[in-house]
Amino acid sequence: MFWERPVENALSNLQKRVHAPVRLVLWDGREVSFDESPRVTLKLHGTRGASALMKPSLMSLAEAYIDGYADLEGDVREAIRSAEAISRGVPHRSLFEGALHHRSRHSRRDDREAIQHHYDVSNEFYGLWLDPRMVYSCAYFKSEGDTLEQAQLQKLDHICTKLQLQPGEKFLDIGCGWGALVMRAAEKFGVQATGITLSENQHRLANERIRAAGLQDRCRVELVDYRDLPGEGVFDKIASVGMFEHVGLANLPVYFGTVRRLLRERGLFLNHGITATNIENRPVGMGAGEFIGKYVFPKGELPHLHLAVKEMSAQKLEVRDVECLREHYAKTCAFWSDNFERRMPEAVAASNERIARIWRVYLAGCAYGFEQGWISIYQVLMSKQEEPGKTSLPLTREWMYR
């Protein structure tokens, strides 16, 4: 057939350049291995599966799998590692290739649709692989033996402690997920907590959980865009966890400006978010960023830490503490990926085969990406300082770790 020679040439070139523990099983029964002891098998079904090898990338290989033109046997994170090796088999391929972020406009409608695309798969779907509180953000591990549930609770308390939450204070969580942080802040730290989300599923379940815990007098979750919250100086403390990835680079001044407007003078703000590791804010190359943008996080844009700090500072938010949690997120995503692997049939039932395949690749890929340093994550603590003088914080940071 006319397509056989290009495929043969592609396989021959890859065998010369790639060393990875993966075996390819072709549609005619032939096998091609890139290692003497392969631990992963990728079965290709016909020409559509083979086309992923013509110009291999993390995007083309993932699409072959999620579209059913290839099947995967073996450890999925090992498969991601092998896919990277195959993608790097293309000469001169770099990790941060391609154009800069085009800085999408991120209208209210765009952001609502993007959030609902990602978070409104179903609450049951997320419940399969998250911890019981359904905390969908980087956990905080104090030891290698911590469980996911322990580490997520430690993360919630770490944030509340950094913010020095005090009884009676008004606390806002921007992008509150299923309400775990606002519930913990109200229950343990005694604040009046408000969470906001654009996900209808999250809004519904969060308020159900708040009522079940008897916290409705101190805690609520609203379905509202952060830009539409009214007032000035309304909150003593504000957190945003895993949300500013959705904001868009062009909207960072609006985002941090809204925080500045809503926060009282000398109030504290903690931003916990994923960042680019490329200083020009380029997305991860080899098709990884393209895959996430197309299938998982529409319109997601990651700023480098220096850009985030610049935009924070422009809004009179003085940076007081920066903590990198990259290894913590690699470990968190590995837990999620392992949970997903164990419950893959249930994930299919809660969504469909294609969505489950997308998320299988995505979670394993995130674990690998954070491990390798393709992306990072930081908690940045800020104080609103429009007037000269001291902050409300102690002179040292010992209080964070008592």
| Catalytic machinery residues | 366
To 10 degrees, what angle do helices 200-212 and 108-119 make?
Answer: 70
Please say whether the beta carbons of 176 and 197 come within 8 A: yes
Q: Side chain identity at 125, as an amino acid letter?
A: F
Tokens for 320, please give them: 């007081």
How far apart are alpha carbons 365 and 78 in whole angstroms? 10
How far apart are alpha carbons 121 and 154 in whole angstroms? 27
Query: What residue ranges in 204-350 does DSSP mark as E strands?
Result: 219-223, 235-241, 263-276, 317-324
Please say whether the beta carbons of 104 and 301 come within 8 A: yes
How far apart are alpha carbons 377 and 391 in whole angstroms? 25
DSSP reduced 3-state for 383: strand
**Torsions phi, psi of 343, nearest 5?**
-120, 25
Give the number of other Cβ atoms within 10 Å of residue 110's Cβ.
Answer: 15
